[in-house]
Structure 1
Amino acid sequence: MNLTIEKNIKLENPETRSFLADSFYIENNEKRPLIIFVHGYKGYKDWGAWNVMAKKFAKAGFFFVKFNFSHNGTTIEDPFNFGDLEAFGNNNYSKELSDLGFVIDHFITDPHVDPEKVILIGHSRGGGISIIKTFEDERINGLITLASVDTLERFPTGNAFENWKNSGVYFVLNGRTKQEMPHYYQFYENYEQNEHRFDVERATEMAKAHVLVIHGTDDEAVEVKQAEHLHILNPNSELFLIENANHTFGAKEPWTEEELPKDLNAVTEKCIDFINKKMR
């Protein structure tokens, strides 16, 4: 089994800026489903156990791609750290959807890929982005959410919102890196201008893809009721809850082990089984 890993492929999205992607696949003559993993808020493609997960998907017979959003705060030179907080502060949902579309366009034409089988796997906020993209892009016929939000309207409220509007910026502490990460007010303005487009509930109801909703019952960042809500909105979806699992399904940064944590391994095996049953 010859596993091919291509790391840090440079993609140049003219609507945003350059960013990096990775691909994992077994070298053979078969065309296989394309899985694109969409990271979440304060996430990046090499966080935690995502590389270990990517290998498991590739060995199961998929062409697996993960990427950094262009404005997630990492850089081309250093994809492992938030070295560009100015870019992070200027991120918004339009840019993330543009980047995701660019990734699909790039990899769907790869000779190892079956263009009729495209699956998004979105984690946390990346789940919300993936839901909207699945509704907008008919090429996507599989959608899996991991600890996903059920709305992208996640902003400060009350006095905190007024302070943000007046000062133009609010900061969130990154508990792991201890960085104060900026959010410029343009983030909210972009949402307000595209509120109908960014309606996760509507997109969930309208999505025509096969949908699997996965969540941990002890998620400390996104309540499990949000997964249950997504499932209700799309009754044809499948809901898979993992007892006592947290927001990252047992993974953490750094992840130095060769094996996946138990909960994330269960997630990956469920995803593989779901795709094989629905899309092979």
Structure 2
Amino acid sequence: MKEHQNLQISGANKRPVLIDIRYNANRTPKPLVIFVHGFKGFKDWGHFNPIADAFAEQQFVFLKFNFSHNGTTPEHPQEFVDLEAFGQNNFSFELEDLGNVIDFACSRKFPVPKKEFDANHIYLLGHSRGGGIAILKAVEDSRVKKIATWASVSEYGKFWNEAMLPMWQENGVVYVPNVRTGQQMPLFWQLYEDFRDNRNRLLIPDAVKKLRIPFLVVHGTADLTVPYQSALDLVDWHPAATLVTILGGDHTFGGKHPFSDPDLPESAQKAVMETVGFFKSQ
């Protein structure tokens, strides 16, 4: 298997975006799957590497990346060492980052030879909050030909209690705990301002209704982070979408960080299998 790790391109505010690419070099042009991580996520979280291997073994070029403002750095790609950047992240930055990644994939700087990569078949796979970003980008970028979401949110902003907004604005920041690391992760007021000022671009329900490409929705019934109802909402707004329900599947489909198991969890295997089948279908 051919691998490129920690490639760097420029993202929002010229901050670095780290990229990993995996594929089987067999002189056959393959579709590109771009994986979009979620909130408090990063490209090397948990079982994302064996998931990348699984897609590569199924004859895809698999690309995963760190958002420029996800709180990691090139020196520490798996640790939240830059909480200032984390707090300055917003949805528009993530859309810009994803657009830059697609630009990179379509440029002469992309390290995968043309004999191995079919630029006419670019697919997005978004997890959790990254699912929403993938949906929004798919609507505005015609280079994206298919989209799949795993445990995706169905709206941005609905988790912000109206009662908290005055305090958030006055203090300039609210904090969310990272249970795994024990860190208090800042969210600066600019996040809400970005959503408010770019609302027409960032409304997932409206974007889903505009999708004109094949759409797969994968969600577990035991997801305590993003309830299964979110998947039902997405399919309700886009009846042509394909819904895959993973009974007992949690938010990460059995993944945890760090992940050292020799095999993918059963829920993750099913998510991969269903997504591979969807991406390979005509």
Normalised TM-score (structure 2)? 0.95
Q: Per the alignment, do residues 14 and 183 of structure 1 end up closer, same or farther by CA in structure 2, a change over 3 Å counting?
A: closer
**Paired residues for 1:93-112 under 5 Å:** 93-109=91-107, 110=110, 111=114, 112=116
- Name the structure 1 match of 2:7: 9
Give the % identical residues. 41
Q: How many Å separate the matches in 1 of 2:117 and 2:11?
A: 21
Paired residues of 1:155 and 1:188 also in contact (CA < 8 A): no
| Corresponding position: 1:230 with 2:228 | no
CA offsets, 1:141-200, max 9 Å, x none? Answer: 110010000101245324322110101000001010000000000000011110000010
Question: Which residue matches 1:132?
Answer: 136
Q: Determine helix, strand or coil for the equivalent of 2:217.
A: strand
Q: Does 1:248 align with 2:246?
A: no
TM-aligned CA deviation for residue 78 of structure 1: 0.6
Structure 1 stretches lacking a partner, 5+ long: none
Q: Which residue matches 1:195?
A: 199
1:84–1:15 CA distance, 2 compared to 1 (3 A): closer
1:19-39 CA distance string (max 9 Å, x none): 201000001211110100000
Query: Which stretch of the first structure deviates more once superposed, 40-49 or 109-118?
Result: 109-118
Q: Could you tell me how far apart the structure 2 residues matched to 1:13 and 1:174 are?
A: 25
2:54 to 44, 53, 56: 56
Q: Is the 8 A contact 1:147 1:215 kept in 2?
A: yes
| 1:46 equivalent in structure 2 | 44
Runs of 4+ in 1 over 4 A off after TM superposition: none
The CA RMSD over aligned residues, in Å, is 1.1
State the secondary structure of the residue aligned to 1:203.
Answer: helix
1:161 pairs with 2:165? yes
Corresponding residue SS for 1:272: helix
Partner residue of 1:215 out of 215, 219, 223: 219
| C-alpha distance in structure 2 between counterparts of 1:128 and 1:255, whole Å | 25
* Aligned pairs, number: 276
Work out whether residues 141 and 208 of structure 1, in 8 Å CA contact, stay in contact via their aligned partners in 2: no
Task: Tell me how far 1:257 sits from its aligned partner.
Answer: 1.7
Distance 2:230 2:193 in 1: 25
What is the deviation of 1:116? Answer: 1.1
Aligned match of 2:187: 183
The equivalent residue for 1:88 is: 86
CA–CA separation in structure 2 for the residues paired with 1:154 and 1:106: 33
CA distance in 2, matches of 1:90, 1:154: 20
> Secondary structure of 2:134's partner?
helix
Contact 1:214/1:239 (8 A) holds in 2 = yes
Instruction: Give the deviation of 1:16 after TM superposition.
Output: 3.9
1:66 aligns to 2:64 (yes or no): yes
- Tell me how far 1:6 sits from its aligned partner: 1.0
